[in-house]
Chain A
């Protein structure tokens, strides 16, 4: 029996159309828009001016405070303007627009492809390097990595977990990276182990990626302390608390972080970025993005420079199909629909999925028949039908008691509901209101 998390979960159609398509380098566009907030925390402070010439990998905005991140130029060219653009979240935010003149890299970056497996840096230097290189969690949350690497006083990390689950349908960027950059990922894992001072690391991969499991298992034989674990395919296994439960049966208490049970979780993509930063001195200015969708003629996986408009990816995939009704930044379960194809690829963009118009529309909302399928689907055993009603009727105190803030917004409830009820829409409303209420209460 393969391991998995015990409560809830669903199995949406996997649609991993691009699982066998190798990663290709996407040509550099004529112009890039690099937002200053691509991470959780404070937006970075811009340190360049209009008309400046910047090289690929040069810092153009520096982190502001502890929870923030550096932003680097992903191309070489001149700063055209500092502008307000619509980013993938749908909100306006500040971005640095660069007219591309070429691809001249910073001399400090080691560009040879020889794998460097000797870790010379001290843990303190590694943390500093991650901060300098703008490394953030690439699984989607984009939490600055140097913060997580600094284990809070009084807490102890005894196991590192690497997330290679990629449970979202369509997305294959982590899958391809594990196949094509396996050795680098494992060295990245060892760097993380050294920094966190742990003896062992477990990499969890869902069993629909047997090639990646076999490949990494073979490579891991040479790396002491790293083990690879196949997991039963079930969404949302990539959620870190569910992954921890699945792998080693520790349950992170409600309202706590994985470190409270002695665990740190990083995505495989982050491990790769850490390798590049620490061993090759290369900051985070490109990432792997899956471009997929049933109507696309050539879906694929690409190394994409940060700031590239997603329209360039869509062009590379054979152009925007006529029937496109929705463009999703991320996977179909948790990704965000974007308003146009000009939004830039950012550090958190793991994939772009296009949906035909007929699959973009929601179905009619029918009455709740109390079938309880939403409860069985919830991996926290919450009662989504109830949380929806409470939010709808503004009964937020009661929603708080029913633990609405535990919701990770995975969407399994809405996915499952036979009556087509927009459970998660209302739960989001209730959750954000409850969080706001709690914050105001704490301030008193």
Chain B
């Protein structure tokens, strides 16, 4: 047997890329933001991240082992990424049992019911997060003030996120110039010194992760840049029309989950389009929906909803928007 030659067809060599390497690449890119969350929210961030990661991996294992009775694939890193991203979308004082329920929804409902890795139409972490937001609105919108390592867990001092301050203020008739006094400065927001989900606050950490993803060619620029670009253009137009009713574009880009969403959530391979043309349409859709929800919607933040809505269009885009093929010309000059 061992003397028989292998006859498999070409190609006879394979590149070094594997699913696992790509997933762990994303994990590495998430590390700066993870450290920033520990730095700002201390113990709470640690508890939230650990619970989310462990329960996501555990649920995937249990479902594969006892319900699907399929080979276990928890080492491919995809459940780890979902766990981290889910944690990044949560406040640092959220009770553990809610995280476990969210993880079950993310892995059990959003991922495994569709057939596991590669088959889910919606981003699992976002489905989990939105489920939690709707089911536990109070716990999901109480944001600890980032006091560094001394920030407590469930006993943390809470405050509002910059987006919530603006939303409430405008409702109460205050003007943007008055409200801007109450929100953190641009530099503070860039560094992450503001209330919010544990992974979304530090813009600088997310941008370092973005650079890593681009350098390692794990993602392309199309989706993040079109999201950020469309948000910047849309909010600039609104701001120019009425600067007393609409916050400036820099504020919109740095506040809330825009960067986390644009760099890590919307670029999820499985739930995003597969060619550059569709990627840009998808990105602009997310950007525009985000601004619409933020400015005219009931929620102060809209990135999660925007991404999930655009996820629904991905199969359609993959079917009808095709890349231009080589040789696709009628006559050549």
* Interface residue ranges, A against B (CB under 8 Å): 7, 10, 12-13, 90, 169, 241, 245, 250-256, 260-261, 324-328, 330, 332-340, 353, 355, 357, 359-363, 366-373, 375-376, 379-383, 385-386, 402-403, 406, 409, 411-412, 414-420, 424-425, 428
B14-A415 in contact (CB<8A): yes
Q: Which residues of B contact A326 (CB under 8 A)?
A: 5-8, 12
Q: 7 more A-B contacts (CB under 8 A) besides A370-B274, A372-B275, A418-B17?
A: A333-B11, A333-B13, A360-B6, A363-B18, A369-B19, A416-B15, A418-B15
Min Cβ gap B74→A in Å is 13
Judge whether A252 and B5 touch: CB under 8 Å: no
Chain B residues closer than 8 Å to A416, beta-carbon distance: 15, 17
B-chain residues with CB within 8 Å of residue A260 when the two chains form the complex:
332
| Residues of A with C-beta under 8 A to B244 | none
* A241→B327 contact, CB < 8 A: yes
Contact partner of B13 among A253, A383, A402, A415, CB < 8 A? A415
Please report the C-alpha to C-alpha distance between residue A417 and residue B11 in the assembled complex, in whole angstroms: 12
- The answer to whether A406 touches B118, judged by C-beta atoms less than 8 angstroms apart, is no
Asked if B10 and A336 sit within 8 Å, CB to CB, the answer is yes
Q: How far is the CB of A315 from chain B (nearest CB, A)?
A: 17
Assuming the contacts A372-B269, A414-B14, asked whether A337 and B326 have C-beta atoms less than 8 A apart, the reply is no
B329 interface hit (Cβ, 8 Å):
yes
CA of A434 to CA of B205, assembled, Å: 50
Q: When the two chains form their complex, are residues A90 and B7 in contact, meaning their CB atoms are under 8 A apart?
A: yes
Residues in A with CB closer than 8 Å to B13 are: 12-13, 169, 332-333, 359, 415
Interface SS of chain B: loop
Of chain B, the residue at the smallest CB distance from A363 is B14
Smallest CB-CB separation from B14: which chain A residue? A415
CB-CB under 8 A from B328, the residues of chain A are: 253-254
Contact B274 A335 (CB under 8 A): no
A283 → chain B, closest Cβ, in Å? 30
Interface residues of B, Cβ cutoff 8 Å to A: 2, 5-15, 17-19, 21-22, 73, 76, 78, 116-119, 220, 269-270, 272, 274-275, 318, 322-332
Residue numbers in B under 8 Å from A380 (CB-CB): 325-327
- A contact residues around B12 at 8 Å (CB): 326, 328, 332-333, 335, 337, 353, 355, 360
Cα distance A126–B148 in the bound complex, in angstroms: 84
The chain A residue with its CB closest to the CB of B117 is A367
Does B329 lie within 8 Å of A372, measured CB to CB?
Answer: no
Contact check: which of B22, B220, B274, B324 meets A418 at CB < 8 Å? B22
Query: A-B pairs with the 6 shortest C-beta distances?
Result: A411-B11, A367-B118, A254-B327, A372-B274, A360-B6, A418-B17
> Contacts A383-B274, A418-B22: A373 and B17 contacting too (C-beta < 8 A)?
yes
Q: Determine the distance from Cα of A425 to Cα of B7 in the docked complex, in whole angstroms.
A: 13
How far does the alpha carbon of A241 sit from the alpha carbon of B13 in the complex, in Å?
23
- A337 engages B274 (CB within 8 Å): no
Q: Provide the bound-state CA to CA distance between A33 and B57, in Å.
A: 60
Query: Complex formed: what's the CA distance from A424 to B12 in Å?
Result: 11
Smallest CB separation, B62 vs chain A (Å): 19
- Residue of A251, A338, A385 touching B329 (CB-CB under 8 A): A251
Residues on B with C-beta less than 8 A from A340 are 5
A369 near B269: Cβ-Cβ < 8 Å: yes
Contact of B5 among A327, A335, A418, A420 (CB under 8 A): A327
B190 to chain A, nearest CB (A): 31
Most buried by A among B9, B322, B324: B9
CB distance from A369 to the nearest CB of B (A): 5
Which partner residue on chain B sits nearest A90 by CB separation? Answer: B7
B11 CB, min distance to chain A CBs, angstroms: 3
Q: How distant is the Cα of A360 from the Cα of B14 in the complex, in angstroms?
A: 10
- With beta carbons under 8 angstroms apart, the residue of A253, A367, A419 that contacts B116 is A367
CA distance A326 to B9 in the complex (A): 11
* A360 partner residues in chain B, CB cutoff 8 A: 5-6, 8, 12
Min CB–CB distance B218 → chain A (angstroms): 9
Complex: A336 Cα to B10 Cα, angstroms: 6
10 contacts between A and B (CB under 8 A): A13-B13, A261-B332, A328-B12, A334-B10, A367-B118, A369-B270, A371-B269, A376-B220, A383-B274, A386-B318
